[in-house]
Structure 1
């Protein structure tokens, strides 16, 4: 079994933002040499998330609008007494820090309209680290 790790580093410019990392993940899968297996995409931050969805500007804005509705950034969350980012921790919890994709015939398997996004919930940040692990044969 082959196991291949790589990191993707991205900077964000807004408090809430979607960053498409599909091309970087696909390149890592290609370089891994894994023909059939799985690809884990994991963000090592509790105030960010990984999702898969369509890269269409209107939908991306809709997703961010819905996330803001769910996490209520201006609500008086108790964690805000320590650090004013409870909404980001809640968003990370609800959306999740990882996604797993099949790898078949050396390529990432995803739907026609599924791109992979880092969801920034507490930006801007100079660096977000995403681990990509490809396992298989």
Structure 2
């Protein structure tokens, strides 16, 4: 069985946002066994699995990424869309645009402390579209 749907994540400010519940609320009933593949259709944000308990981790992740790839660096050539745009594209490449999560007994088989993050790298990224592909039996 294969099923594919488009999900929408509400607009968020820059940062690392736990979106597990928002994604689950838009999914159909999951198969007993399978895989969920999530693909975000944007080049200035990403998807990641990380700590779902302590919100300080999300703050620290933003600090780390902002130090690795600062906004408005004078060597950037692509500057037409503002000082946060080129840095957002680079951060998106580092994080990635997709996740694959196992489905076991009709539920996402995440680790105890794992959650799905929207990594928003623009100051105002807007609504984000995610393609969810469900494979299973």
Please state which band the TM-score falls in when normalised by the shorter chain: 0.7 to 0.9
The structure with the largest strand share of the pair is 2
- Matched residues in 1 for 2:71 and 2:116: separation? 24
Cα separation, 2, equivalents of 1:20 and 1:118? 6
In the TM superposition, what is the alpha-carbon distance from 1:89 to its structure 2 partner? 0.3
Which digits, 9 at most, give the CA deviation of each residue in 1:65-122, with x for residues without a partner? 1111111113121112x33311000000010001111111111111111000111111
| Aligned length in residues | 133
- Runs of 4+ deviating beyond 3 Å: 24-29
Mapped contact 2:9–2:22 kept (Cα < 8 A): no
Unpaired runs of 5+ residues, structure 1, are none
Unaligned runs of 5+ in 2: none
Q: Equivalent residue of 1:45, what SS?
A: coil
| Residue of structure 1 equivalent to 2:106 | 106
**TM-score normalised by the chain length of structure 1:** 0.87
Relative to its length, the structure with more helix (as a share) is 1
